[in-house]
Amino acid sequence: MKGKTVKMLPLVFCGVMALLSGCAVENQHLAKLPLFEAKSDRIPGLDPPHERTKLIRDKGTQGAMASESDREILVAQLVHEYQTSPDPNMRREAVDALAKIPHPQRDRFLREILQDPNPFVRLSALEALGNTFSGEPEALLALLIDRMKTDLDNDVRVSAVRILGDVTPKDTTDPSHRMVVLELGNLLQDRVPAVRFMAMRSLQKVTGMDYGNDINRWLQYIRYVNGEIPNLPDQRTFTEKLPTIALPMFK
């Protein structure tokens, strides 16, 4: 057995050397191949979304401090971006940038965008109008009331109700004050719970009355404003304002 093993050693040695020489030849061929060249996945003439987003945002930042002539150019570019982009995210970016630029036609552009088919774009336009509207206050109130009554998206309606609570005059002698209170009162029986809840929050801001989430007392308050009942409902007591804590049951 030892003799056979000794005789096979040269054969094993030759086999190993043959394999190594083959690998060397293969490596020589590989070394002659051209190096891998990475290719860009960019499409000529089409910017990636993150670059387009930055470009749009930069225009809004520049427009806030630009000269009147430069603002005209930037607003025209943003309006064009909104009108030609099929991507609602890019349209929202254009709306947000447009809201930063003082321009006499900005309100008109934003009001037209309220007809956008995408609810998130409409939300951006509504928020922008609530923050930057430069026309008559009554016109903004009418616009918000229209949105909260007619928009097909519940989030847009809730946002309109919330903004209405922020911008409505608190002066009870202002005719628009009573109009808004009654419009919000009509929402207390809305089919959407979030709309009813936000109507109570906005009524609290506008009137200064505190009935919490007691919808029945808010309904009584609306009846009082309408002259249907003689007495103002009592507001929440201090005890009623305290948060309730559910204690665990002890056995």
Q: Which CATH number do you get for residue 127?
A: 1.25.10
- For residue 195, give the nearest of 139, 236, 151, 154 by alpha carbon: 154
Same domain? 168 vs 230: yes
pLDDT, tens digit, 9 for 90 and up, residues 93-142:
999 999 999 999 999 999 999 999 999 999 999 999 999 999 899 999 99
Domain count, the chain: 2
Least confident of 24-28, 79-83, 245-249: 24-28
pLDDT, tens digit, 9 for 90 and up, residues 139-177:
999 999 999 999 999 999 999 999 999 999 999 899 999
Stated pTM of the model: 0.77
Residue 24: which pLDDT band, with cuts at 50, 70 and 90?
very low
- Expressed as residue numbers, the domain containing 52 is 48-135
CB 193 within 8 A of CB 161: no
Query: Burial code of 20-50, b = ≥16 C-beta within 10 A, e = fewer?
Result: eeeeeeeeeeeeeeeeeeeeeeeeeeeeeee
Same domain? 169 vs 184: yes
